[in-house]
């Protein structure tokens, strides 16, 4: 052991200081590496006396210029990750770091802050978090602030370390001492220098994580108690601190934490008039009320009351607080009696009660007003029914109200009382017959007995409807019910009641068990025939005919009144296979003599509909090549045969019957045959229609019949083709009038058989005429509706669809984009085939703004279609084409916004948006111009905000303002399950874009804030990624955030 080592081991501080002084002198005269290695080794010894003295000697050599800091630090810092005893090394590195920082500060040289992952102070704490290490670091930081180093340089250097200690998303209890001291130090620095360092750190503090929220709340409360708040109580930063604290209170209440003192402090802290986030805070507190433990509910409600009294409190936030109070008002207790006294000052309206726990209070209140007056009784009864819809347990209360009756009431009030009862009974029978059906029968019977007066028809009608519901549910037997009610019904004369009786009868054939009751069927059918025969009131006749049409044709024939059969009864009726049939003359006589021609016509339409639906294939098979001249293949009792042969046989006589009863009968027969049925009429030679088509009153019916039969009949098809060609060849467009509309109405039939060579010229002429000369929007709307049906029908010839697409594609560019006709054409274009849409919306190389706007609107319209697998692909080309031709985003903002909103829930939306993220990243990587990057960043931010749904809550901003809501919107989106798989990708994307240089500064800041808003995500903290994300650059100005 040499003399130097003996002196160093002497434990004598004076001797040890002398040894290192000599070493300093020697190193100053001759700078050799051996002396540096010796000093470095002594600095790392565990003996505090030796390492402190060696460190002082090393720093002296740095001060006198013997050693350079930029040479020493690269030698010491790598040892942080390998050395076991890190305290001595920390005592050496920390002073050197701050000495280097002072040199930069004094020379005012540019200084690049170290990133968080490589920061020396962070590496020290990662190796050892013992209390002595934390104290060493804290002392050096404080010393740095006292060494006249520029605050900007100190902030740049220390900020990553502050982030690590204060904002770590993973709870580290061993850093509690350092975190607390650093926070107090930062508050004092901000107080003295008015920096926004605290606000920057608050931006990364955890709020939603329950295990960290309480600590964050303590830190924010310390800020609000400091001079920062006292000096500027109305600053935007302070408003954000208060909002953050209230949000923290909400998450703390979810965890059952005690926020009593925090609520009291907030009540005293929030400014009276200038607090800009008051309504947002009330919305948050309304949610906190629902999860707050009773222990400090009083303090929470006291805070709410003070905020509600503020003149800036909006109605929606006030009602949010009131509705939250119902949870506590419904279940009072000793523990909450003080809180409920305050709640009464913010008392909610009873009508806001929608929870089942509140039902007893509501029923008691409703029952209290029943005895006041009949109008109030009716209202109370309806309110009780609404309560029953929420909770069926209050049926007994409802039934008690149904039993109440005021005998001293005037007729008007009595009718109102019975009407309300009948309505509720009917609804009960409709909604829950299995539960209350048998209980309702006496109520219904009582109403039927009490409502015999002429002014009581409404409750009678409602009661009969209730009986119908019970019969359909098979709670009561319609057979016995009819036997009981028929004596009362026979003498009934009130029109509404008779109509309801007919409706009840119409339910009988629909019940499975009634088919075997022949007597019942015969009786009710005769009942209906009596109404038809003995009444002149068309409403009654129509109701009876509608009910009669539901029964089987054989039963209708069996009970037809003899009035229509006249004296030739044996000849007019016959029996086929045991079933009674009626001759055609009988039906024609009925159609002629019925007191309601319209009702009779509709009755026949129902009969024909049932008959045609039962036709078998052989009906449509021709026995020879030519079409038959009559309906000989149909049975003698066929209604179609009767009507068809009457029309054909009397075609030559129609000109003699003008304005006669036979003329009206002929028109009625033709009208019945011209209706749309599930199948065509049987084969027939329809050439006779050519003689009728020139009569204006019959033209429409003839064209309808020919169009319906065109797919089956050559004669009908030739008639339609000739008619279309005649319309197309008219020289004067005004001669078309509205004749062509009937062709469009039947286009779904004729487009299956008539070729494009005939139809396309017709489309061109009539559509052009409608758009340019006729200009009647209702007609155009009907025409396009028919075209849409054809375009969407898979059975229509593709060639005819292509013809329609070609004509519409030409016309869409001749109408004004602001005209209603363009919107109508858009609806039709949405049904084009994909090939037709691609051809129509393909952008030309030469730019024309009007054409661009139209094609853009078409693409957006297509993208709004719900049945498309990838609707958003249609708007992809819009963005690049618009930028290339200097089209401002506001020109097509509204259309794009509508498209985005309509696809919020579409399954393809996440994939499309991620592709948009990727496109912007590629443009940044390719170093595109800033204007292009900003343009597509605007589109991205617009898309994210609208997909998040946040746009609904915002005023109508221009797109340059909407982008500032991107951070909140991306947080909304990633909270949705459909977006979870993209979280990691978006976090990495935001960090990359924030750190990229060739991005507009404003968007770099927005992407940084967006990353900041996602700090609560699990993926943010996983695998220590948060240390990388904390390095992003964000601006803390709150002017636009």
Residue 957: its pLDDT value, please? 60
User: Mean pLDDT, the chain, as a whole number?
Assistant: 84
Rounded Cα distance, 645 and 879, in Å = 65
- Ramachandran angles phi, psi of 657, nearest 5°: -100, 15
Percentage with pLDDT > 70 across the chain:
89
Give 147-188 pLDDT, tens digit per residue. 788 888 888 888 888 898 988 888 777 888 888 888 888 888
Q: What is the DSSP string of 419-486?
A: HHHHHHHHHHHHH-HHHHHHHHHHHHHHHHHH--SGGGHHHHHHHHHHHHHHHHTTSS-HHHHHHHHH
Sequential DSSP letters for 54-120: HHHHHHHHHHTTSS-HHHHHHHHGGGGGT-S-HHHHHHHHHHHHHHHHHHHHHHT---PPPPTTT-H
Mean pLDDT over 900-915 rounds to 93
Residue showing tokens 């985003």: 889
Residue whose C-alpha is closest to residue 639's, from 686, 665, 606: 606
**Which pLDDT does position 17 carry in this prediction?**
79
Find the mean pLDDT for residues 896-923: 94
Residue with tokens 């090549």: 625
**pLDDT of 1037 strictly over 80:** no
pLDDT at res. 117: 84
Q: Tell me: pLDDT of 342 over 60.
A: no
Tracing tokens 């190389």 back to the chain, one arrives at: 845
pLDDT of residue 1008: 93
Confidence bin at 1040 (pLDDT 50/70/90): very low
* Position 421 pLDDT exceeds 80: yes
* CA 68 to chain CA mean position, Å: 65
Residue 1033 has a CB neighbour count (10 Å cut-off) of: 11
Residue 397 near residue 404, CB atoms below 8 Å: no
For residue 83 the two structure tokens come to: 């050395």
Nearest-angstrom CA–CA distance, 430 and 684: 48
Give per-residue pLDDT as tens, 775-797.
778 888 999 999 999 999 988 98
Stated length of the chain: 1041
d(CA 890, CA 928): 22
pLDDT of residue 444: 92
For 12-20, what is the mean pLDDT? 78
Structure tokens at 560: 């037809």
- List phi, psi (to 5°) of 579: -110, 140
Burial status of residue 557 (CB atoms within 10 A of its CB: 0-12, 13-18, 19 or more): middle
User: Which of the pair, 812 or 57, is modelled with greater confidence?
Assistant: 812
Q: Give φ, ψ of 754 to 5 degrees.
A: -90, 140
Q: d(Cα 37, Cα 34) in Å, to the nearest integer?
A: 5
Cα–Cα distance, 226 to 187 (Å, whole number)? 7
Q: Which two tokens stand for residue 880?
A: 């690049």
Share of the chain above pLDDT 90, in %: 36
pLDDT for the residue 336: 54
Distances in Å between the Cα of 69 and the Cα atoms of 102, 387, 1008 are 12, 81, 34
Q: Give the separation between CA 624 and CA 376, rounded to whole angstroms.
A: 77
Contact 900, 942 (CB under 8 A): yes
* Top-confidence residue, 659 or 423: 423
Q: Write down the residue that tokens 């007003």 correspond to.
A: 369
Listed residue (118, 222, 203, 221) closest to 163, CA to CA: 203
Please state which of the ranges 196-210, 476-490, 924-938 shows the lowest mean pLDDT: 196-210
pLDDT of residue 576: 46
229 vs 629, more confident: 629
d(CA 680, CA 667): 20
Q: Tens of pLDDT along 31-78? A: 667 777 777 777 877 777 877 888 788 888 877 777 888 778 887 888
- The residue ranges of every structural domain in the chain are 904-1041
- Binning pLDDT at 50, 70 and 90, where does residue 571 land? very low
In this predicted structure, the answer to whether residue 568 has a pLDDT above a threshold of 50 is: no
Dihedral of the alpha carbons of 378, 382, 383, 388, in degrees to the nearest 10? 140
In which band, very low, low, confident or very high, does the pLDDT at 955 lie, cut at 50, 70 and 90?
low
Q: 401 or 340, which is more confident?
A: 401
Alpha-carbon dihedral angle through residues 656, 661, 662, 663, given to the nearest 10 degrees: 60
Q: pLDDT tens across 360-417, in order?
A: 767 777 777 665 555 677 778 888 888 888 888 888 888 888 887 655 555 566 778 8
Interaxial angle between packed helices 48-63 and 33-43, expressed in degrees from 0 to 180 and rounded to the nearest 10: 140
20 or 426, greater pLDDT = 426
């Amino acid at each position: 052991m040499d003399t130097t080592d003996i002196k160093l081991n002497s434990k004598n501080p004076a001797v040890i200081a002398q040894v290192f002084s000599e070493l300093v002198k020697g190193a100053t005269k001759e700078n050799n590496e051996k002396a540096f290695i010796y000093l470095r080794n002594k600095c790392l010894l565990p003996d505090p006396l030796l390492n402190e003295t060696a460190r002082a000697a090393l720093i002296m050599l740095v001060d006198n210029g013997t050693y350079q800091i930029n040479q020493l630090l690269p030698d010491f810092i790598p040892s942080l990750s390998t050395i076991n005893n890190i305290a001595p090394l920390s005592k050496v590195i920390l002073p050197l770091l701050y000495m280097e920082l002072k040199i930069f500060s004094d020379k005012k040289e540019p200084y690049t802050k170290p990133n968080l992952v490589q920061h020396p102070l962070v590496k020290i704490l990662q190796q050892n978090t013992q209390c002595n290490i934390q104290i060493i670091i804290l002392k050096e930081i404080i010393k740095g602030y006292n060494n006249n180093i520029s605050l900007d340089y100190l902030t740049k250097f220390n900020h990553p370390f502050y982030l690590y200690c204060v904002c770590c998303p993973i709870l580290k209890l061993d850093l509690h001492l350092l975190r607390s001291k650093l926070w107090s130090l930062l508050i004092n620095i901000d107080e003295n220098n008015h920096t926004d360092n605290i606000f920057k750190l608050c931006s990364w503090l955890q709020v939603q994580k329950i295990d960290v929220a309480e600590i964050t709340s303590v830190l924010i409360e310390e800020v609000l108690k400091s001079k920062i708040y006292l000096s500027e109580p109305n600053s935007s930063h302070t408003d954000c601190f208060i909002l953050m604290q209230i949000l923290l209170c909400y998450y703390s209440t979810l965890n059952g934490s005690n926020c009593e003192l925090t609520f009291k402090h907030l009540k005293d802290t929030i400014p009276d008039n200038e607090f800009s986030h008051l309504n947002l805070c009330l919305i948050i507190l309304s949610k906190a009320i629902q999860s707050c433990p009773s222990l400090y509910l009083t303090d929470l409600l006291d805070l709410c009351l003070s905020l509600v009294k503020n003149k800036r409190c909006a109605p929606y936030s006030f009602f949010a607080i009131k509705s939250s109070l119902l949870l506590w008002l419904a279940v009072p207790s000793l523990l909450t009696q003080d809180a409920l006294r305050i709640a009464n000052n913010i008392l909610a309206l009873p009508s806001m009660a929608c929870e089942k726990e509140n039902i007893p209070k509501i029923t008691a209140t409703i029952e209290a007003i029943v005895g006041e007056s009949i109008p109030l009784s009716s209202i109370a009864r309806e309110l009780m029914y609404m309560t029953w819809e929420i909770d069926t347990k209050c049926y007994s209360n409802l039934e008690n109200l149904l039993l109440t009756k005021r005998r001293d009431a005037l007729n008007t009030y009595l009718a109102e009382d019975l009407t309300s009862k009948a309505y509720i009974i009917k609804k009960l029978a409709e909604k829950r017959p299995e539960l209350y059906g048998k209980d309702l029968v006496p109520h219904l019977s009582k109403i039927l007995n009490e409502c015999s007066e002429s002014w009581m028809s409404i409750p009678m009608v409602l009661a009969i409807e209730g009986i119908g519901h019970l019969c359909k549910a098979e709670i009561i037997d319609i057979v016995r019910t009819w036997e009981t009610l028929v004596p009362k019904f026979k003498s009934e004369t009130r029109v509404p009641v008779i109509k309801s009786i007919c409706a009840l009868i119409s339910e009988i054939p629909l019940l499975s068990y009634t088919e075997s009751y022949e007597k019942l069927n015969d009786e009710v059918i005769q009942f209906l025939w009596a109404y038809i025969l003995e009444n002149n009131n068309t409403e009654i006749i129509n109701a009876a005919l509608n009910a009669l049409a539901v029964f089987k044709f054989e039963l209708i024939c069996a009970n037809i009144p003899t009035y229509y059969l006249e004296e030739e009864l044996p000849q007019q009726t016959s029996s086929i296979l045991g079933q009674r049939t009626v001759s055609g003359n009988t039906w024609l006589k009925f159609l002629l003599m019925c007191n309601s021609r319209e009702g009779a016509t509709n009755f026949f339409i129902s009969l024909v509909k049932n008959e045609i639906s039962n036709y078998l294939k052989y009906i449509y098979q021709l026995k020879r090549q030519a079409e038959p001249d009559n309906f000989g293949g149909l049975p003698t009792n066929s209604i179609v045969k009767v009507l068809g042969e009457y029309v054909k046989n009397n075609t030559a006589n129609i000109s003699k019957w003008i304005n006669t009863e036979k003329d009206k009968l002929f028109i009625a027969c033709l009208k019945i045959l011209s209706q749309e049925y599930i199948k065509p009429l049987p084969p027939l030679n329809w050439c006779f229609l050519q003689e009728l088509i020139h009569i204006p009153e019959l033209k429409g019916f003839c064209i309808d019949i020919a169009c319906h039969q065109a797919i089956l009949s050559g004669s009908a098809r030739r008639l339609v083709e000739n008619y279309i060609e005649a319309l197309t060849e008219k020289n004067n467009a005004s001669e078309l009038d509205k004749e062509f509309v009937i062709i469009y109405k039947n286009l779904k039939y004729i487009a299956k058989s008539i070729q494009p060579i005939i139809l396309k010229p017709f489309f061109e002429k009539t559509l052009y005429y409608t758009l340019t000369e006729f200009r009647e929007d209702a007609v155009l709307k009907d025409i396009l509706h028919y075209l849409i049906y054809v375009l969407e029908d898979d059975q229509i010839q593709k060639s005819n669809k292509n013809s329609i697409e070609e004509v519409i594609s030409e016309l869409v560019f001749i109408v004004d984009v602001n005209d209603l006709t363009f919107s109508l054409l858009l609806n039709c274009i949405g049904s084009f085939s994909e090939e037709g849409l691609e051809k129509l919306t393909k952008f030309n190389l030469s730019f024309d703004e009007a054409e661009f706007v139209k094609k853009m609107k078409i693409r957006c319209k297509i993208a709004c279609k719900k049945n498309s697998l990838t609707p958003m692909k249609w708007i992809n080309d819009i963005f690049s084409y618009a930028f290339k031709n200097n089209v401002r985003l506001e020109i097509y903002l509204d259309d794009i916004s509508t498209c985005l909103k309509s696809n919020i829930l579409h399954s393809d939306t996440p994939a499309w948006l991620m592709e948009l993220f990727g496109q912007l990243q590629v443009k940044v990587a390719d170093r595109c111009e800033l204007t292009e990057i900003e343009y597509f960043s605007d589109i991205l931010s617009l898309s994210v905000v609208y997909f998040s749904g946040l746009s609904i809550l915002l005023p109508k901003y221009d797109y340059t303002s909407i982008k500032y809501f991107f951070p909140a919107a991306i947080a909304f989106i990633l909270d949705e399950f459909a977006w979870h798989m993209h979280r990691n990708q978006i976090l990495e994307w935001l960090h990359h874009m924030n750190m990229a240089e060739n991005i507009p500064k404003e968007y770099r800041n927005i992407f940084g804030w967006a990353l900041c808003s996602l700090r609560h995500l699990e993926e943010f903290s996983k695998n220590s990624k948060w240390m990388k994300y904390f390095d992003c650059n964000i601006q803390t100005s709150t002017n636009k955030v």
